[in-house]
Amino acid sequence: MIGIVTVHDRGDRTLALAHSGRRLLVSDADPMKQHAKILNVVCLLAALATSSGCHFIYPGRDVGGPIPAIPAEVPRELCKTTLPDYIIEPPDVLSIEAISLLPKEPYRLRALDVVSIVATGNAEVEAISGQYNIQPNGSIVLPFTETVNVEADRAPIRLVGQTVEEVQQQIAAILDKYYNASQVSVSIAQLAAQQQIIGEHLVSPDGKVNLGTYGRVRLVGLTIEEARAAVESHLSQFLEDPQIALDVVGYNSKVFYVITQGAGLGDRVSILPAKGNETVLDAIGQIQGLESNSSTRMWVARPGKNDCDGDQLLPVDWLAVTQRGDVATNYQILPGDRLFVSEDKLVAFDTKLGKIISPFERIAGFIALGTSTTRSVAFFNQGGGIGGGGFGGGF
């Protein structure tokens, strides 16, 4: 049996006396030496925590090595650049507006087309002027006054299958029976199939947009101007000199990524839309700031190679950007960029240490539980339970 005796002398020295049988060991424990040992242990733990697979600054740079040379033309917060012409890709959303969509002659009217009627003469004749939707049954009803007293003339007029000139002659013949010096003009105000062109259109995975009865048009890889020309060229097969306005309302194909290292618990990847004006600070703000297991070490990894055929890595000084308003490393985020946020090395070390210790803790807990159970069973078998030789034995 080994015993430890601690004795304090007048010189404030601590003497540790250890005796085992006939041996007696005396050691003079200097407080300065103890502090040095503790400091060495702390430094060792810090070294282990910061050496978990990544360099201290960012991958590709050695500690104490040369500072990376970032070209001055790299866009930053106060020196941003404009992106090139937008290239349409899936799953962008396009908006098409009609400027001029007239059918080729001779066009025969269809149900749900809208015709415009302009009648001149007296007040009763002018009352029928207006726009009329052709009903699903193919006819329209004109608001004639009591002057038109023949039931056949007041009946709905069938327009489907007729040209605009034929409809105009039919209405003019009715008016000439009851009014003098009346004139009527009929034109197409809107095509029913035009509704399939106007509106928002999703670029499908095959790069095409659906225009309903007018077919599908391939727009992937085109700029907005080229896409408008492609749609107009396609519609010219069915319409007379079509003119449209096309724009992008859903910029879904241009994104950038924010990767936060998970300190041994899995990385998290956030996909954010690239609108052309984001910086590193904006990107961190869009993911609601840094997590508890994240460090302030981060860098922008840009796709492609630099002038030296190396990786394009732009280190970010987070403390300078946030605490001092330094814009030197607050780079503009471009489509396809990866903003990588490194893990907190101490948290990562704690996670790794927990993964190593956890199995042993479970084994020890299982052994302790088994030992306790065995003792309890043995205790009850020996009559230590209620009603045995212990409590309650006299009743």
CATH number at residue 125: 3.30.1950.10
DSSP 85: P
Same domain, residue pair 213 and 301? no
List the domain range (segments joined by +) for residue 15.
3-44
204 is a domain residue: yes
Picking from 202, 231, 250, the residue at the C-terminal end of a domain is: 250
395 is a domain residue: no
Same domain, residue pair 143 and 17? no
| Token couple for 132 | 């009329």
282 is a domain residue: yes
User: Torsion angle, CA of 77/81/85/91, rounded to 10 degrees?
Assistant: -20
Same domain, residue pair 157 and 97? no
DSSP 180-210: SS-EEEEEEEE-GGGGGTSEEEEPPTTSEEE
Same domain, residue pair 171 and 298? no
Same domain, residue pair 56 and 143? no
Same domain, residue pair 97 and 198? yes
CA distance 373 to 375: 5
Same domain, residue pair 156 and 23? no
Under DSSP, is residue 226 helix (H, G, I), strand (E, B) or coil?
Answer: helix
DSSP 214: G
Task: Say what the pTM is.
Answer: 0.65
Same domain, residue pair 217 and 173? no
Picking from 190, 206, 222, the residue at the C-terminal end of a domain is: 190
CA distance 387 to 231: 95
CB 141 within 8 A of CB 156: yes
CA distance 222 to 311: 29
CA quadruple 380, 383, 387, 392: dihedral sign: negative
Q: What is the count of structural domains for the chain?
A: 4
Amino acid residing at 366: F
Q: In a structure prediction context, what are the per-residue pLDDT tens digits for the chain, which is 395 residues long? A: 334 343 344 444 433 333 334 433 334 445 555 555 665 655 555 555 444 444 444 444 555 555 666 888 899 999 999 999 999 999 999 999 999 888 888 899 999 999 999 999 888 899 999 999 999 999 999 998 888 888 888 899 999 999 999 999 999 999 998 988 789 999 998 888 888 899 999 999 999 999 988 999 999 999 999 999 999 999 999 999 999 999 999 999 999 999 999 988 889 999 999 998 999 999 999 999 998 889 999 999 999 877 777 788 999 999 999 999 999 999 999 999 999 999 998 998 888 888 899 888 889 888 988 888 888 888 888 875 555 554 444 44
Same domain, residue pair 39 and 177? no
55 is a domain residue: yes
Q: Which long-range contacts (CB under 8 A, 24 or more apart) does 67-74 make?
A: 68/313, 68/315, 70/314, 70/315, 74/314, 74/331
208 is a domain residue: yes
